[in-house]
Amino acid sequence: MIQEYFTKDLNELPAVLIGTILIYVSILIFTRIFGLKSFAKMTGFDFLNTIAIGNLLAMSVATSNPTLLTGILLIGILYLINFTITYFQFKSKKFRNLTDNTPLLLMKEGEFLKDNISQAKITMDELRGKLREANVLSLQEVRAVVLETTGDVSVLYGKSDEKFNNFLLEGVRP
């Protein structure tokens, strides 16, 4: 019985191997056609696309549901949708504002922006962890903490006498 658990699907290995290679090559081709940004996490759409493609890859190869060819087609459609959304976001600020989140400032010049932290539904423990991840040793070093459109947290820090380039906070909600 234990042996069956480990060996019952051995006859499917050639199909799984071929399917994995085909879908992997398809993803490489789609990435070459639509560009590396397809796997970036610059927007929520990019992130969603990456998760959906990974899920379809796993389902097509491991369960054959959807079938391999349907999985490849669906992955191609996801690339196309993401490319189309990215194209219109690039061309139109109005479209970008409709479809994308706006980064949110959580800290500025060492001070917590409690209303923004509350709005973002981030706990102080989570924020503290992000500050530690960024190797912040003193809150006075923190020039800005931004909740990015992807949900990542960016920590900008340095000495208070260092010149801060405001370009870094353009488009960030204060």
> In the predicted model, is pLDDT for residue 6 greater than 70?
no
Q: What pTM did the predictor assign?
A: 0.70
Higher pLDDT, 17 or 5: 17
| 126 — pLDDT class (breaks 50, 70, 90) | very high
How high is the pLDDT of residue 171?
86
Contact 157, 133 (CB under 8 A): no
Render pLDDT for 69-117 as a digit per residue (tens, 0 to 9): 999 999 999 999 989 988 998 899 898 888 878 899 999 999 999 999 9
How high is the pLDDT of residue 7?
64
Render pLDDT for 133-159 as a digit per residue (tens, 0 to 9): 999 999 999 999 999 987 889 999 888
How high is the pLDDT of residue 45?
75
Render pLDDT for 26-50 as a digit per residue (tens, 0 to 9): 999 998 998 877 777 667 777 788 8
Question: Would you list the domain boundaries of the chain?
Answer: 2-98, 104-169
Alpha-carbon distance of 84 to 138, in angstroms, equals 43
Residue 111 parent element (H or E): strand 111-112
Architecture of domain 104-169: 2-Layer Sandwich (3.30)
Alpha-carbon distance of 50 to 109, in angstroms, equals 34
